[in-house]
Amino acid sequence: MSNVLLQLNNWYAGYGDVDVLNNLHFTVKEGEIVALVGSNGAGKTTLLRSLSRTLKGRGDITFAGRSLYDETPEKVFESGLVQVPEGRLLFDQMSVHENLLMGAYRRQGKAAIDASLERVYGLFPKLYERRQQRSGSMSGGEQQMCAMGRALMANPKLLLVDEMSLGLAPVIVDQLLEILSTIRNEGITVLLVEQDIYAALEIADRGYVMVTGAITQSGSADELRNDPHIREAYLGL
């Protein structure tokens, strides 16, 4: 049986005095792709922010065998929990190459960083072609690749990917999903957060459905895809 990488119990998080997330129980095992799906405003991004500890949460949070409860966002990032943020948030005026290096800013050792660069350029040949180009001048799909590459430069154990498919053509989304599968096969665990439930369940092993800050359903990707309620409410079938 595979090991638990991330475990949340009795988890609450929100803004000011208002909790958006209510009593979540959530597990990601090593080597999995887990999808977290739910409609606009459900609290998916809030959950990711509370995992990376840029937003306070209450409850139990364990990652790679350690509690992250009292850790700073920098320590969490260094421990291998790395977010590809919603909206990509690249440094628009900087080149692709410079953006990638920003992902490695907490790492030591030129050889290790060079090896990561080579790996990222291998996964995304487009980024290598465009390495000197200003990131803000690239297409949405290329920018998403750059954001994913930057996160990989941090040497993550768990990659948190927020709304990767937003605004992108289906053919680009398929390419990015395939790259996530490759990344997982290379040993990086993935938590994929998507409004596009169909895309997410296509590559995920398991999934959680979130509605207004609570998990309402969970199961294998197959179970969720074939669930009558999900087919009606989210897939329009």
Ligand X SMILES: Nc1ncnc2c1ncn2[C@@H]1O[C@H](COP(=O)(O)OP(=O)(O)OP(=O)(O)O)[C@@H](O)[C@H]1O
Residues forming contacts to ligand X in the complex (CB under 6 A) are 15, 20, 38, 40-46, 86, 163, 195
**Closer to Mg ion by Cβ: residue 60 or 86:** 86
Does 50 sit near Mg ion (CB under 5 A)?
A: no
Interface positions, 208-237, toward Mg ion (CB under 5 A): none
Does 189 sit near Mg ion (CB under 5 A)?
A: no
Residue among 225, 85, 91 nearest 164 (CA): 85
3-state helix, strand, coil in the chain (%, to 5): 40, 30, 35
Q: How many CB atoms lie within 10 A of CB 71?
A: 18
Single residue of 36, 45, 116, 194 touching Mg ion by CB under 5 A: 45
Smallest gap, in angstroms, from Cβ of residue 162 to Mg ion?
Answer: 6
From the list ligand X, Mg ion, none, partner contacted by residue 50 (C-beta under 5 to 8 A by kind): none
From the list ligand X, Mg ion, none, partner contacted by residue 42 (C-beta under 5 to 8 A by kind): ligand X
Smallest gap, in angstroms, from Cβ of residue 193 to Mg ion?
Answer: 7
Cα–Cα distance, 69 to 11 (Å, whole number): 11
**Closer to ligand X by Cβ: residue 190 or 193:** 193
Specify the amino acid at residue 107.
R
* Phi and psi based region of residue 175 (left: phi greater than 0; alpha: psi -120 to 50; beta: remaining): alpha
Specify the amino acid at residue 137.
S
